[in-house]
Structure 1
Amino acid sequence: MGMGLASITLVAVGGAIGGMARVGVSQLAARWLGSAFPWGTLAVNLLGALALGWLAATLTTDSVAPTGGPWLMLAVGLLGGFTTVSSFSLQTLGLWESGQGGKALANIITTVTLGVVALAVGAWLGGGL
């Protein structure tokens, strides 16, 4: 599927919903867990990885990577707007620059390690592993 107007619209709608959901989840995490560590960003990135693994496994057919409208709206748009590497990077740098190198390193290791695990669990749940 090319990037015609329909494809762009699917990505835009998914991205708008995903971005709003990210703000909501991040605010809830900060309220429940505090703001001394970027719990909200960690939560959205892990939830997004889990969901992407499930989507990829569910929408993949005969070893062909998913494409088309559902993939564009849900994976590219919704999960692309929901997850955030930029906030992760900025918050990690902020921890480092404020003398909290241990928390910065913990954020990197936790996000990357648990992100891959969440993706694998999502793929398993979707029947892909």
Structure 2
Amino acid sequence: MNELEFNIRLYLTGTMKSWTDRIDSTDQLTPQRFIFNAMTELFDSLSDDDLELVRLKYVERMTLSEVASRYLLNEHTVRNHTNLAIKQVKEIINYYRTTKKLIAIKLWAFRLYGLQKGRYQSEDC
């Protein structure tokens, strides 16, 4: 299971919400809360039918062919209806990764600056 499937399964099974609430009960925008909020907004915007197609594919782990035959749809139709949501989940994860790296770089720079500033102050004394 890749990271994309893992995050979708966590969200659609309700596990992501319980983990996010356990990690942060203050409703501050932690990385976990950011991903949860973005995925909530995304999945709330889907139609019930599209949400069901995503759920069958990623939670029930049905193939496109199995989902298509269950609803008497063409595989291409199922792919079209699920791909937009999947693309947006990828963007959420990539945005989080980019933001996380930027935050880490800023923290590192801040700590480095603070150490240098402290060292200079101690030398001046």
TM-score by length of 1: 0.33
Higher Cα Rg, which structure: 2
**Higher RCO (CA-CA < 8 Å; seq separation 6+):** 1
TM-score by length of 2: 0.34
